[in-house]
Structure 1
Amino acid sequence: MKPDDAPTSATSTPSTLPDDWQALHQAERLALQARRRSALGLADDADHPALALPTVGLALSGGGVRSATFALGLLRGLAQNRGQQHGQPNSERPDPADRSLVADGMLGRVDYLSTVSGGGYTGAMFGRLVQAFGLPQAQALLARSDSPVLQWLRRNGRYLSPAGSRDIGIAVVTYLRAWLAIHTEFMFACMLLGLLVIAPHLAQHSTQLLDPQGWERWFTPWWPVALSLWAATAPGLVAGYWAARDSHDPNARAVGPGWRDMVFVAAMAIAAWLLLRALRSGDTVNPVHDALDWATAALLALLSIVVGQLFVQARLALGREPHALAVARLRNQLTRWLKAATLVVVAIGGMGALDRASWWVLEELQSGNQWLWGGVGFGGLVVLVLRRLAQPLQQMAAEAGARARGWLPRLMDVGSLVGLLALVTAWLVVLQWFVFAPDTFSALREVPAWMRALLVGGLWLGWIVLTAGNAQMANTSSLHSFYRARLTRAYLAVGNPRRGLAGGPLPRGDGTRQATHDVTSVVDGDDSALDSYRPETRGGPIHLVGTCLNQTRDDQSGLYNADRKGTAVTATWRGLEIGPAEFVALQPGDDTGTLGRWIAVSGAAASPGAGSYTSRGLALLVYFLGVRLGHWVRAPRESVQLRWLSRLAWRFAPKPLMLASEASATFYGVERPWWYLSDGGHFENSGIYPLLKRETDFMVLADASCDGDYSFGDIENLVRKARIDFGAEIDFYTREEAQHLFSLAGSDLTVLSPEQMADNHSSRGVLLARVRYRERVGPRGPWRPEATLLVVKPNLHDALDVDLLAYARQHERFPHESTGDQSFDEAQWESYHRLGEDFGRALHDTWLAQLPGWRSPARHGLRVAARLRSAADDAAAGAKAEPLWRRAAKATAITTTIGVGASGTLLLSVWQVQEQLQRNRVDQQTEARALFTEVSKALQDFNGRCPKVAEHVVTQASLLFDLRGSPAMRPLERAGVERLAGRIADECRKDADPSADCVAASQRLRNDLCAVVQKPPTENTAFSYWHPGTSPDEQAVAARRIWLALTGRASQLASAAQGNLPVPPPPSAPQADSPQRASLGACRQGDERSTLYIEIYDEASREAASALRQAIQQEADVLVQVAPIDNAARNAELRQQRRPVPWPVPTFVLHDPASRECALALSRFIGEPWVTPTRIDGVWIRERRRSAVPRPGVIELWLPPVLVAGQSAEP
């Protein structure tokens, strides 16, 4: 394309330009014509040979600060190369007809400036300089070594990664703010998911309709529901698919079922009927009691098969379309239904798994087990270590072979999914604790679970109503604003006249020079609106900013997931170019944004959407770490008519949809009202793509990507996309071919073959390529326009400056150090800048004029094209002599490999741990056997009529009986303990001898040993999934009291406080006079006394519990038999079971509802430290689970742990 082919009109504005690529093409041709006239100082109607020169494009590739610094040096070197005038070079006012485009520097020859990622930092800086001061002064400012612009950039080149305590503090709080915002949004998302997950548990907790005896084996109600749904749908869909068979005549219509099909359906129906009769006769079909068993599941499967077969046979018999077509459509439909049913079943089963896992974790935490907290701490340590090793791991991944690069993304996907499940489970644990735990906050202790869940739902609904419509929150919660501000003040601010970097006085009213020279200060004019950024109007190039529009899904089919996962979006003040051919002109009112925003988007490498690099694992990792630089932009046009539900959701609740898209890496490209844009390098990193689209005649590429082994991955990607999208072929010259075809006078630059780039000794090495555009038909037949591509890739040679080679000796990977390094020190910054400047100075007009396409249309005589470097070349290069500047280099990375020795050490450690565990188990069994032997010998002469048992034997016997059910006991010893307990129980039933000594001994032993032996299984936890601590009636009373308190009806509240139930719900204590009114005589159960078992959770409570036991024994010994105090937590440890969750207040658990009056009478004995003047939480009375066998007269008293000495007793 040549600018002299431009149309005659010169005024195209965003409001008048249509959405057509050809219209943009014509407008840019006109702009290039005007640009060259401005640079040459020509009138609108004047002619000049330079107007007919081929178009030149300069592309600055991505690569972070490395690319930006190298590109800055290249621009400075080009600006220093001033061409000669056609007339007198020293003329004060040369004739415009004698002026050339390179008179003020080689940058005057550049028509297009295409930038991606880090190259955009420098490109936007140059464009701002040109727009502010004009092209001649901009080149002068770049060329001068003492320029304030260079000083600013050198001083603030590391500003993206701040150094210094103040900057680090700003970066930390900015990151924490973004991280907190993301996890706050995730918390509210987990609220909704959690309420759905706990819904069946909440319903059972509030109504207790299901019988726990039949449902406990399923752990959660979700799993039987999932199995029932699958049994009722999947067998029928599978059987129906098999029944849809092809016919020998494809054109047949209304094909009826065969006799075999009818027999099969009849057999399945009979089997279902027989199974139903068998279940009904046994009275086993009771889903409320038994949940789902295998017989019921089989019945559902048989009925599903019958229905599926009948449905398919009826469809085929009654259909009017050809049988082959009907079968194909029916199979497709059945397959889609089976997929949907399977996904629903998996989702339901997954919710059950989350419900069960979160409840299990909560039980562990509530019971006080410390190992879980240790695991959390270890996980945090692992995260810190992995974060520290992130860069080495990335380097290993980059250097890994093709096989490793295949499994590393999958490993990241699995790891991120595990992390997501851990986060979801953690929030569900918090929700389960808030809703179901008996002792959360003191203000919520008497609030029923369903009201707590309602409170959570109200909070979620309020958050959604208030924030879901705030679409910009998806952007403000990311690091984009921080990144953009840093870029703007470090690079774009050099084009702000108020900064005074061009010299001269500051504009009036702009403060002190110190403030304007402070990069941390925000000065008006540092950034500019995109629609006013037009450097071509001041003689500069048209700046093309490359970004990537992410698209991982196709809304039309729901299956689209192309390898690219995105398309190129090029932004200019005229509009947005989308892909190879689409263009959307920017209109007044469109979301154009600022130049700083688009440059930041162009460099948004860390993003959940990463073009062809997008994966679910990477998206989750980046999302939850809070390192999100991508940006949502409102679509300038609505390209697809959405369905009504999707349209409403994007209109009224865009924020959660945006965040969900980022977390799940689900992007729809242009098919949504908001587009997700990220680093242009995610699509094409060189920046040449938009230049090929314009069929530019001569292109210079500054390829500063991280390519230490010179594998040319970005160039390979460019060659492939050029062929696919534009039909353009790119062929590289070999060194011999270039020397044969071109004289290339001078030794400043050498055209190398791609495989020679890594081993260059002589001089600055560049790559030269021929570009052949798409074939077209001309007057002389088919032909292909040609262009030239010159690639300037950082490489070292012997003639470089001594300080630069010294830096290369000390840094093995220079000039291809990691892009993750965004904080360059002075030596590093100067080395990259000087290397780029060295190349720029060598690219003078005389040398470039020898290449096709610089001064005349390109015509290449390339015969044999070079190939890009291969693995074989790498091996050959490794055998060559080391370059001069590498001979003193030392390795900077230490590679650690787990060899045979390390693996053996690991296996030995595992074996030692296993051996220690086995030894501990043997020791425990030995101690249990010795205890059993000793107790058996001491009690072999036990006589219930006149027992004579030492106190230490009673203690040993209590410990032995506590070991029942423990793995420390072998089966034979367990059976012996049961026989011993049975014999003691029989002896305890005998009447004592009338002698005083025997009566006293018998009475003492009945309260000790006999009570321990006869102790039934206890309700050892206040926290149970299937056995909640409060009944539905008690929850209803509590809810009524809360409602009356909220509505302010004091009189009714007082009435409710009197209690419609004998015992109020927690935390209400029995009324002050109720224990006095209740008589201890109620503890007498006929001729038998009631038995009270006192349970504690720690030894610190034993002293206070012993005092309580003595008080009860002294006053009610003839009415209540008080067993020895038992430590439930210690017993659980002895049995190697989970520690019980303590009741929050003293709680009586009744084995018999008739014991309620007795428990109420005993409650008056409970005082300090459980009931104090400052903490009167009351005493709860609960009935035992319905599935337990009632034991008349048995009462458990659970005493919560007391506060240790010195701690406050305040709640």
Structure 2
Amino acid sequence: MLGDSDGTKGDATIEQIGRRRTFTTTLQLAIVLAIVQVPMRAAVHEAAGSASGCEAPGRLSILVDSAFVLAAVYTAYRAYKYVRFLNLQSWKRVAAAGSWIVMVAAVLDIAENLILWGDFGSAPCADLSTGWFTWLMRVVFVAGVLILAVCLFATSRFGQRKWYGVEPTPPATFRRAKRDGKDAGRLVITCSGGGIRSASFCLGALQLLRERGLYDKASTVIGVSGGGYMAAAFHVLRRTCADPFSPGSPELARLRRQTRYLLSGGRAMFRAAMSVLFGLVVNLLLIGITLRAIAWVLGWFLADQKVITSGLQVDWRPNDSWFFVGMSVFLLALSALMFLIEKVWDRWARMPDLVRTILTTIGNVTLRYGVPVAVLLLGVPGGLYLLGKIPGESIDQPSLPSALLALVDPTKQGVASFGALVVVLIGLGKAVWNGLTVEGKAATGLRARLLVFARTKLAPWAASAIIVIAAVIALLRWTGGYATDVTYQEDWNVALILVAIALAIKLLTDANRTSLHSFYRERLSRAFLVTRQDNGAAVGLDYHLRLRYSDWAKPIEGGPQLVIAGVANVDDPDFVPTQRDCVPFVFDAEQIGIVGDRSLPDGGRRETADYEREADVLKREVTVPAAMAISGAAFSPLTGRVNARTRPVRLLLAVLNARLGVWLPNPYWNNRAEPAFPDRTGFIAKVRRYVGSVVDKPGPYRLLHEAVGSPSMYERRIYVTDGGHYDNLGLVEALRRKPAQVITIDASNDAEDRFTALAEAIATARMDHGIEISLDPAPMARGGKSRADRAWAYGIATHPLEEGEEKPYKTEIFFVKAVLAGHLDWDLEQYAAEHADFPRRTTGDQFYDEWDFEAYRSLGHTLAQSLTDHHRVHDRLYDE
């Protein structure tokens, strides 16, 4: 049930729970940064009168406090946004005042830090204080915090019900309209995923359906992944051409020249390499900044506690005290204590749900922070202890092998070692890609089986292990340096460099721009989206032309609308079954967003025009090329239902920038009746919207989610990838729209005679919508014969009986599959004889020549013709 993991029992919306989680997460970060300053301030106080002993902890405390100020401002802002969402007018104004007071305190805190920074190192210091100015800042900060705390309590469920007599925020609803409307009684065409293989096959099938008048008769064409390439290309070209991609047409001739669409020519290869390199460098810089900051604070603390001394000597009980060890495991012990209290209480009495929730929450929070605290405070000294046991140049300077240590040293050897690491990771990435594309295929011979095992089982974990080992080495090296080397401790310019790099990354790019999505989107647009000019020439659409989905996906002169299917990657037990890890995300000209079964609350779709503005003020993120690229984002760290295959390589894919998915706004958020942007046309309003849109782009936190996190439906942004990660056929989305008929064009790479994609679609339709599909693909199975009898099958989908209906609604399914069936034209027979994998060429190979492209196109045309030529199918499809 919605919010069950938060104890809301369905009485809060996704946005309300999400905003509360966002606030509490930021609050926890601010608390952690405040706690980290405690030993630094204590060290400054103990070193009163000594300028040298005061400088290191004092200035480090100022740096950490600056980060705390930023976290505190974000916390206050998110608290205000949460109160504002609840729409209680009086408390909105109070919360706004509280957040502004915190902002004033933050400005005063920064001013105090600037004053203190100049004092350290130049004269003896007594404390981290500027006297009355510090107390003024603290009073203002506490006042703002108290005001926000009162607002949060007053607007909570307890405060609304018990104190103020205000009705709680309306709960989520699971009620939906019985039908979407315009597809009822109509024909829907779906084009399956499968890269350039499916695009070629679907092109032939769509050509035939257009020739027979069925394409124009359809109300909707649904594209998934590679099928989405051609569905979009057909739809866009139809604006300027009545017979898109007809045989002998200039646009078809142009398309044949674009079959190596990803890396067509030296310029495209260069841009691809630079796109990968750009994202890789940014990712490594972010990792380096994070590790260096942690090492700085940790190294000073371990040295201050005398846990690490010169020569990397480790003393677990400094001054014969167990304080350090106890502090390291305190949070873990508290988490275990909460669990123990719950079990003992349960043994002797019934525990109220409120008490159980409190104990569970404390246990979860302390476990979440207890594990990293124990790893850093115990694991890092342990690693340095082992490091001290490895012989080096001298007894006082033990070290790891120089090639490994050079990873964090700015020397020629360091550059070479770092380059070698990158080359190894790229090589492992290539091996992993080859393994993912061959997994599931039968390997013959011992050598082939060993090679498949190495690619699919060993290489993924080896790559992740290498990344982790390299990060551990860097952390140990830097921590040891800050704990024992004076030159490390006194180099305050490093902080300036780290901040400058972080600001540059924030200003110059974001998590979407560092991914390969932009390159992929551009290549798809230039290869597939074409228009016919008045002089008869076929030219590609200008890539800089914003093909807004709300405009370009609409029906054209009675033809079908364009729908592109993707998935939103989420890992919430409140919404998705175990191992599914995704919900459908649909691009539609009228409404865009999350669709699915009735376990998902209403409100997951937005008006497309409104969503385009929220995603990007310049309206670049939700376009037809963007939808094509997102639906075809098969290569990403998060992959929905196939996460089990890609989970071992998530870290590798994220670091190597092998990321095609996109972070988009969660449609459940800001889903209000009022527009996302007020109708203000003044210069200041435009600048505010522009700056706000740029600043609000997804940052490094999203990259962490891609690499190791668990994406959630409650978050403000969702990660959208390949529609094939949910249903590779688009059949489930078609049936959700309740049409009278569906033609499904399937070019999935199923194992022969298995029809896995169809089986998964049938099961998904039953699980998610209660739709029973009766379709037997047996006539398409080759079995012991040389060829299948035919390449199509007919089925009936029966929808569950709804209120007001006397009998269940039924949908006819006409399913055509890329298989060799019957007698084909001689050129296809010859091509099949020379290509044993035809028509199941792996999606790992996206580089087709003209013969490959034509073979799959011709097969799609031939098999679609065999479907529509059958007298019973013909009669049903053309029955008005």
Q: TM-score range by the shorter chain?
A: 0.5 to 0.7
SS in 2 for 1:730: strand
Measured at CA, do residues 720 and 236 of structure 1 come closer, stay the same or move farther in structure 2, by a change above 3 Å?
closer
Query: Cα distance 1:550–1:385, how it changes in 2: closer, same or farther (>3 A)?
Result: closer
**Is the aligned partner of 1:533 residue 2:552?**
yes
Where 2:251 maps in the other structure, the secondary structure is helix
AA matched with 2:475: L
Amino acid in structure 2 at the alignment position of 1:449:
Y
1:625 is matched with 656
2 CA distance for matches of 1:79 and 1:605? 29
- Consecutive unaligned residues of structure 1, counting only runs of 5 or more, are 1-18, 33-53, 82-101, 252-321, 439-446, 507-515, 642-647, 735-751, 857-1211
- Give the Å deviation of 1:430: 6.7
SS of residue paired to 2:754: coil
1:420 to 457, 462, 467: 467
How far apart are 1:621 and its partner, in Å?
A: 1.7
User: Cα distance, 1:564 vs. partner?
Assistant: 1.6
**Closer/same/farther in 2, CA of residues 220 and 20 from structure 1, 3 Å limit:** same
- Offset from partner CA, 1:833-859 (integer Å, 9 cap, x none): 111121233343763545657626xxx
Q: Give the AA of the match of 1:632.
A: W
Query: What is the aligned partner in structure 2 of residue 984 from structure 1?
Result: none
**How many angstroms apart in 2 are the aligned matches of 1:534 and 1:396?**
35
Cα distance in 2 for residues equivalent to 1:380 and 1:587: 42
Letter matched to residue 766 of structure 1: W
In 2, Cα distance between equivalents of 1:187 and 1:533: 43
Note the alpha carbon deviations across 1:41-82, whole angstroms, 9 max, x for none.
Answer: xxxxxxxxxxxxx4111100001111101101111222333x
Structure 2: distance between partners of 1:245 and 1:672: 32
Equivalent residue number for residue 155 of structure 2: none
Q: Offset of 1:421 from its aligned partner?
A: 1.3
2:91 — aligned with what? none
Q: Cα distance, 1:711 vs. partner? A: 2.1
Name the residue aligned to 2:151: none
Q: Is the 8 A contact 2:566 2:724 kept in 1?
A: yes
- Partners of 1:567 and 1:157 in 2: CA distance: 31
Aligned to 2:585: 569
1:157 aligned onto 2:311: no
What amino acid sits opposite 1:399 in the alignment?
K
**1:263-278 → structure 2 map (5 Å cutoff):** none
Give, as a single letter, the amino acid of the residue that structure 2 aligns with 1:28.
K
Contact 1:246/1:327 (<8 A) preserved: no
Query: Partner of 1:612 in structure 2?
Result: 641
CA distance in structure 2 between the aligned counterparts of 1:244 and 1:146, rounded to whole angstroms: 75
| Aligned equivalents of 2:238, 2:872: Cα separation in 1 | 24
Distance in 2, matches of 1:410 and 1:465, equals 39
Deviation at 1:586, TM superposition (A): 2.7
| Distance across 2 between alignment mates of 1:528 and 1:213 | 63
The Cα shift of 1:190 comes to 2.4
CA contact (8 A) 1:60 1:123 kept: yes
Aligned to 1:796, the other structure's residue is in SS state coil
Q: CA RMSD, aligned part only?
A: 4.6
**Contact preservation (8 Å) 1:191, 1:456:** no
- Cα distance in 1, alignment partners of residues 179 and 514 from structure 2: 38
Contact 1:230/1:341 (8 A) holds in 2: no
**Equivalence for 1:986:** none
Matched with 1:6 is none
Question: Secondary structure of the residue that 1:523 maps to in structure 2?
Answer: coil
Instruction: Mark the CA change 1:585 to 1:244 in structure 2 (over 3 Å): closer, same or farther.
Output: closer
Amino acid at match of 1:655: G
Matches within 5 A, 1:370-409: 383=425, 386-387=428-429, 389-390=431-432, 392-399=434-441
In structure 2, the residue matched to 1:1041 is none
1:1088-1107 correspondence runs (5 A): none
Counterpart residue type for residue 538 of structure 1: E
Name the residue aligned to 1:603. Answer: 632
Per the TM alignment, residue 327 of structure 1 is displaced from its structure 2 partner at its CA by: 9.5
Is residue 449 from structure 1 mapped to residue 484 from structure 2 by the alignment? no
Offset at residue 115 of structure 1 (A): 0.5
1:80/1:841 contact within 8 Å kept:
no
1:125 is matched by which residue type in structure 2?
A
Shift in CA distance, 623/355, structure 1 to aligned 2, threshold 3 Å: farther
The reply to whether residue 195 of structure 1 matches residue 288 of structure 2 is no
Q: Select the residue among 561, 566, 584 that pairs with 1:542.
A: 561
How far apart, CA to CA, are the structure 1 residues paired with 2:346 and 2:254?
Answer: 83
Q: CA deviation at 1:632?
A: 1.5
Aligned-partner SS, 2:586? strand
Indicate whether 1:486 and 2:486 are aligned: no
Shift of 1:371: 7.0
Distance of 1:534 and 1:369 partners within structure 2: 59
Could you say if the C-alpha distance between residues 21 and 634 of structure 1 is closer, same or farther in structure 2, counting changes exceeding 3 Å? same
The 3-state SS of whatever aligns with 2:512 is helix
Alpha carbons 1:767, 1:790 under 8 Å: kept: yes
Q: TM-score, normalised by structure 1?
A: 0.48
Render the CA deviation track for 1:986-1020: whole Å, top value 9, x for unaligned: xxxxxxxxxxxxxxxxxxxxxxxxxxxxxxxxxxx
For residue 216 of structure 1, what is the amino acid of its counterpart?
A: V
Are the counterparts in 2 of residues 60 and 120 from structure 1 also a CA contact under 8 Å? Answer: yes
Is 2:736 aligned against 1:693? Answer: yes
Q: Distance in 2 between matches of 1:109 and 1:764?
A: 25
Cα distance in structure 1, aligned partners of 2:750 and 2:230: 20
Q: Which residue pairs with 2:851 in the alignment?
A: 827
- From the superposition, tell whether residues 579 and 124 of structure 1 become closer, same or farther in structure 2 (CA, over 3 Å): same
Counterpart for residue 233 of structure 2: 125
Would the alpha carbon gap of residues 685 and 794 (structure 1) be closer, same or farther in structure 2, given more than 3 Å must change? same
Q: Equivalent residue for 2:413? A: none
The question of whether the paired residues in 1 share the 8 Å contact of 2:791 and 2:863 is answered with: no
SS where residue 424 of structure 1 aligns? helix
Aligned with 2:605 (options 583, 589, 593): 583
Counterpart in the other structure of 2:314: 216
Q: Computing the radius of gyration over CA atoms, which structure comes out larger, 1 or 2?
A: 1
Structure 1's 239 and 754: CA in aligned 2 closer, same or farther, altered over 3 A? same
Quick one: structure 1 residues 348 and 76, their matched pair in 2 at CA, closer, same or farther if it must change by over 3 Å?
same
With over 3 angstroms needed to count, the CA separation of the structure-2 counterparts of 1:656 and 1:536, relative to structure 1, is same
CA apart distance, 1:622: 1.0
Which residue of 1 is the match for residue 273 of structure 2?
A: 172
Following superposition, the deviation at residue 353 of structure 1 comes to 4.9
Partner amino acid, structure 1, of 2:595: G
Shift of 1:189: 2.5
- 2:245 is aligned, of 131, 135, 142, to 142
Paired AA for residue 795 in structure 2: A
Q: How does 1:278-427 map to 2 (within 5 A)?
A: 336=364, 339=367, 343=371, 344-353=373-382, 383=425, 386-387=428-429, 389-390=431-432, 392-399=434-441, 414-427=461-474
Please tell me whether residue 774 in structure 1 is matched to residue 803 in structure 2. Answer: no
Cα offset for 1:157?
1.8
The answer to whether the Cα contact below 8 Å between 2:590 and 2:608 also exists between their aligned partners in 1 is: yes
User: For the residues of structure 1 that align with 2:420 and 2:427, how far apart are their CA atoms?
Assistant: 10
Asked if the contact 2:550/2:609 (under 8 Å) is kept, the reply is no
2:285 corresponds to? 184
1:594 corresponds to 2:641: no
**Residue 435 of structure 2 contacts residue 455 of structure 2 at CA under 8 Å; is this kept in 1?**
no
**Aligned twin of 2:140:** none
Aligned mates of 1:351, 1:848 — CA distance in 2: 73
Partner Cα separation in structure 2 for residue 151 and residue 330 of structure 1: 67
Decide whether the 8 Å contact of 2:262 with 2:524 is kept in 1: yes
Q: How has the CA–CA distance of structure 1 residues 434 and 455 changed in structure 2, closer, same or farther, with 3 Å as cutoff?
A: farther
Give 1:126's aligned amino acid: F
The Cα of 1:397 is off from its aligned counterpart by 2.6
Q: Which residue identity does 2:191 align to in structure 1?
A: L
Counterpart of 2:705 in structure 1 is 661
Q: Is the 8 A contact 2:561 2:589 kept in 1?
A: no
Tell me if structure 2 keeps the 8 A contact 1:529–1:595. yes
Tell whether the 8 Å contact from 1:849 to 1:855 is kept in structure 2 after alignment: no
Contact 2:307 2:314 in 1 (8 A): no
Match of 1:28 in 2: 182
Identity %: 22
In 2, Cα distance between the equivalents of 1:787 and 1:421? Answer: 52
1:111 to 219, 222, 225: 219
Contact 2:564 2:588 in 1 (8 A): yes
Give yes or no for contact 1:117–1:679 (8 Å, CA) kept in 2.
yes
Equivalent residue in structure 1 for 2:191, among 55, 60, 65: 60
Q: Which amino acid aligns with 1:769?
A: G
For 1:813, the equivalent position in structure 2 comes to 837
Cα contact 2:788–2:820 (8 A) shared by 1: no
2:791 aligned partner = 765
CA distance in 1, matches of 2:312, 2:522: 63
